Amino acid sequence: FEDSFNQLSSKTASQLKGKLSVVFQGEDGVDAGGLTREWYTIIAREIFNPNYALFIPAATHNVFQPNPNSFVNSETHLQYFRFVGRVVGKAIYDGHLMDARFTRSFYQHILGKELSYKDIEAVDPEYYKNLEWMLSNSIDGVLDLTFSTEIEHFGETRIIDLKEGGRDVPVTDANKKEYVKLVAQMKMTKAIEEQTSSFLEGFYEVLDKNLISMFDASELELLISGLNEIDVSDLRSNTEYFGYSSNSVQIQWFWRALNSFDNDMTARLVQFVTGTAKVPLEGFSALEGMNGPQKFNIHKAPKNDRLLPSAHTCFNQLDLPEYSTYGVLKDRLVLALKEGSEGFGFA
């Protein structure tokens, strides 16, 4: 990691776009492509090495996001993020795949797209539950909150205003949507602003930002990490049902729809529910959730043809409304998988 960092950090943007030739110290061999692939594999592993403290696993442990406390390990941590951005950008530029899976919110940062407060579920599911409860219930006289939040910095607790004078502004039913928007922005954007900016500086030294902005988060993940060939029969054999049974007509329609999808759309479904399109080497029986092994599971949602399916990636959970026809179910499912970023807003 350090050797590669030192080598690539001295390269100009135009030099980075040239052919990469890898030589491992103490080893003979001409790089005809195999050494480069091996190098990307090793670098991807080191990027997420906890000893470097650059990235931390999200709640599902399958995907990663920048560590807001990355400074604890090195004064050059932001230079490391620029290096990582260069490496990931170079991999895309050269058509090499990396085993590097990030949170949906970080893909949105790369693409320059706004986030929804719902994206915080993959990062901190308990906090997301608290925000959802706030939005669904009256908090006047119940919660004593202000437009501020606490952060830990070298063991010291600091109060950060979410807006000017925020620590003196109480959160009420009238302004709680604004609070949720601002606190989510703080946790998912401002807390890692320096790390993200440094990553993007390196990333866009290699790639054209206008071209990358054409992709959505799902497509960007596949561009970086590639596409697994997804075995739908294995997924079906390792799915649990709550409120439905394997014989429920909506479940039969669901699998019928899934079998009609191409591999790209199936990957979107897996990503939508689990947070990543990557399937464990052992298959879907080895799926992990925030609390350990957690199978893909489908929960019955209220009967309403206007509702879209929703997901809880920390639990590999799909909430599937009790649709009236196969056509409605497939249309709603496809729309949910293809819809763009909600932005920081509320329906």
Annotated catalytic residue within 188, 217, 269, 314: 314
Q: Is 149 helix (H, G, I), strand (E, B) or coil?
A: strand
Q: How would you class 270 by CB atoms within 10 Å of its CB: exposed for 0-12, middle for 13-18, buried for 19 or more? A: buried
Q: Return the closest-CA partner of residue 343 out of 68, 179, 112, 136.
A: 112
Q: Answer whether 332's CB lies under 8 Å from 302's CB.
A: no
Q: How would you class 227 by CB atoms within 10 Å of its CB: exposed for 0-12, middle for 13-18, buried for 19 or more? A: middle
Residues comprising the chain, all counted: 347
Q: Answer whether 62's CB lies under 8 Å from 288's CB.
A: yes
The pair phi, psi for residue 319, each rounded to 5°, is -95, 110
Q: Answer whether 58's CB lies under 8 Å from 123's CB.
A: yes
CB environment 105-130: b (16+ within 10 A), e (fewer): bbbbbbbeeebbbbbbbbbbbeebee
Q: Is 109 labeled as catalytic in the residue annotation?
A: no
Query: HEC states along 280-341?
Result: CCCCHHHCEECCEECCEEEEEECCCCCCCCEEEHHHCEEEEECCCCHHHHHHHHHHHHHCCC
What is the C-alpha separation between 263 and 49, in angstroms, rounded? 31
Tell me the catalytic residues: 314
